Amino acid sequence: MDKSPDAFRTISEVAEDLDLPQHVLRFWETRFTHIKPMKRGGGRRYYRPLDVDLLKGIRHLLYDQGYTIKGVQRLLRENGTQFIIALGSGDTAAAEAISQQRQATARQEEALAAEQSRADADEEAAVMGTPKSAPQGRRLFGLIKGDDEGPVAADGKRLSKDNRTLLQETLFDLLECKRLLDQVR
């Protein structure tokens, strides 16, 4: 008596169906995190129909198409399990549709990230303003003779235009460093 297509399969049934030794299926579980058979008491593995389809796709890519394990892992990571299942079943149209959908999603995410980056830069410019002129080089604060305009330093002397520009440039650099650190976190 044959099992229903929706029934769970034992490791021996799956190994026979895929013409693979059981130890290969156990090994693949360690290399492909998407393969997660249900385990019952005593450690017996029961594979869901989707697990079996995924295993068929992985077998097809490794044995028929010549992919390496790392190559299949990359395909899984970039395109998901449905892509591998479609390839394993020979449904190239579905695999192509999944791939195009993933690429469109990636483009949308890149566009959103670029828009967010521009919005952050605009917000930062609105808060800080833009420097009136670029400094001629990095100079130490006490070495530039100043004119009589601008903010007053702690010693009562006015900061020169170059020193103010240098301070503003340093502030921009610090804000950019903070922005980069916030992105990493």
pLDDT of 1 > 60? The answer is: no
Distance of CA 125 to the CA centre of its chain: 28
Domains in the chain: ranges and CATH: 9-96 (1.10.1660)
Indicate whether 68 pLDDT > 70.
yes
Contact predicate 76/94, CB 8 Å: no
Query: Average pLDDT of 69-89?
Result: 89
C-beta of residue 58 within 8 angstroms of C-beta of residue 72: yes
pLDDT of 181 above 80: yes
For the segment 131-157, what is each residue's pLDDT rounded down to a tens digit? 555 555 544 445 444 445 555 666 667
Residue 20 predicted with pLDDT over 80: yes
pLDDT in tens, 109-121: 888 888 888 877 7
> Hey, what are 33's tokens?
């995190």
Question: 172: pLDDT confidence band, cut at 50, 70 and 90?
Answer: confident
Nearest to 73 by CA among 37, 127, 34, 128: 34
What is the rounded CA–CA span in Å between residue 61 and residue 59?
5
Place of tokens 């044995």: 63
| 130 pLDDT more than 80 | no
Work out the mean pLDDT of the chain and round it to a whole number: 81
What is the DSSP secondary-structure string of 72-121?
HHHHHHHH-HHHHHHHHHT-HHHHHHHHHHHHHHHHHHHHHHHHHHHHHH
Which H or E run contains 10?
strand 9-10
Predicted local distance difference test score (pLDDT) of residue 133: 56
Q: How far apart are the first and last CA of the chain?
A: 57
